[in-house]
């Protein structure tokens, strides 16, 4: 059974050595989550830039196994630079304890946020090392939020996000990226996208519809060509994930012959092919 508790604990006002009242310390926060015999407790204080003194303590069957500071660096900021959100992408909670990989051993996932206008969610994942008798933590940054799903109901959860490496012809806020699916295995996120062809195929159909819609869209040709190229790149990437690259290239060739890709279409397609090969889609 999983349990989750969130508490805000007010800090006592500090007093100076002369007995006069000093400035109050920031409020101290606590979140607790548990699953079976495993309980995780995270504490911190809120600072101007982020969480101060962010610490996690993990117990198994009531025995304290690990207590450690959570890394809080972000970019050029060295410490106290990440925040604990009120909710999180992994089920809407900042702290989740559950068996993510189906091995009957609960893992711990702490969701953090690095700040900035468009980036980024952070996952600090902890898994139990039976040989060492301790929990080891690893940090992962998500430039796009993830959804926590179990596509095939096998008890192994999928972290579904986007391939944020992929940006062929995109510019914020107009982004189009292939789907990317991860498994959490012993504290590491492992790419499992190709193991879910039905999910990838659904995304490919959406991208193909977007391509076709743009070729018939009203408005300036330059913008229409830009959007067609944007969605086409993702569609071809999706077909390659399905080991059906030729299907994607056939659509690309048809669009080029109809001049839907604008001037320089042959150069665009050559660059797309090289880009997909570099990212591992075109093999």
pTM: 0.83
Residue 170 buriedness (CB in 10 A; 0-12 / 13-18 / 19+): middle
Give the pLDDT confidence of 191-235 residue by residue, as tens digits: 999 999 999 999 999 999 999 999 998 888 889 999 999 999 999
The per-residue pLDDT for 86 is: 75
CB of 116 closer than 8 Å to CB of 150? no
Backbone angles phi, psi at 239, to 5 degrees: -65, -35
Residue range 268-281: average pLDDT?
96
Where do the domains of the chain lie? 2-142, 200-278
DSSP category for residue 279: T
CATH 3.40.50 corresponds to the domain 2-142: no
The per-residue pLDDT for 13 is: 33
Q: Among 164-173, 244-253, 269-278, which stretch is predicted with the lowest mean pLDDT?
A: 164-173
The mean pLDDT of the chain is: 87
The structure tokens 């048809």 sit at: 254
Kind and range of the H or E run holding 257: helix 245-257
CB of 59 closer than 8 Å to CB of 70? no
Give the pLDDT confidence of 60-71 residue by residue, as tens digits: 999 999 999 999
The per-residue pLDDT for 81 is: 87
Encoding tokens for residue 223?
């913008």
The per-residue pLDDT for 74 is: 82
The per-residue pLDDT for 214 is: 93
CB of 109 closer than 8 Å to CB of 124? yes
- The neighbouring-strand residues paired with 42 are 31, 56
Give the pLDDT confidence of 123-174 residue by residue, as tens digits: 999 999 988 889 999 999 888 888 999 999 999 999 999 998 998 887 766 7
Instruction: Please report, to the nearest 10 degrees, the dihedral formed by the alpha carbons of residues 77, 184, 44, 62 taken in order.
Output: -150
């Amino acid at each position: 059974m999983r349990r989750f508790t969130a508490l805000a604990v007010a800090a006592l006002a500090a007093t100076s050595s002369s007995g006069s009242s000093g400035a109050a310390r920031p409020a101290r926060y606590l979140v607790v989550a548990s699953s079976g015999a495993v309980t995780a407790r995270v504490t911190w204080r809120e600072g101007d830039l982020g969480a101060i003194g962010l610490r996690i303590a993990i117990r198994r069957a009531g025995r304290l196994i690990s207590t450690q500071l959570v890394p809080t660096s972000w970019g050029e900021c060295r410490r106290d630079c990440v925040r604990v959100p009120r909710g999180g992408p992994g089920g809407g909670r900042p702290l989740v304890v559950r068996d993510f990989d189906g091995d009957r051993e609960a893992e711990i996932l702490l969701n953090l946020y690095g700040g900035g206008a468009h980036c980024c969610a952070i996952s600090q994942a902890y898994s139990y090392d039976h040989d060492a008798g301790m929990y080891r933590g690893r940090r992962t940054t998500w430039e796009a939020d993830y959804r926590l799903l179990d596509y095939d109901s096998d008890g192994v959860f999928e972290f579904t996000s986007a391939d944020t490496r992929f940006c062929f012809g995109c510019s914020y806020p107009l982004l189009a990226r292939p789907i990317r699916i991860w498994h959490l295995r012993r504290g590491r996120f492992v790419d499992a996208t190709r193991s879910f062809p039905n999910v990838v195929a659904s995304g490919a159909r959406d991208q193909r519809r977007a391509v076709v819609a743009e070729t018939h869209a009203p408005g300036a040709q330059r913008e229409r060509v830009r959007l067609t190229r944007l969605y086409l790149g993702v569609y071809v990437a999706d077909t390659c994930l399905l080991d059906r690259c030729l299907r994607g290239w056939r659509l690309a060739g048809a669009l080029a012959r109809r001049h839907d890709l604008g001037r320089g279409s042959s150069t665009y397609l050559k660059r797309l092919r090289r880009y997909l090969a570099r990212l591992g889609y075109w093999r």
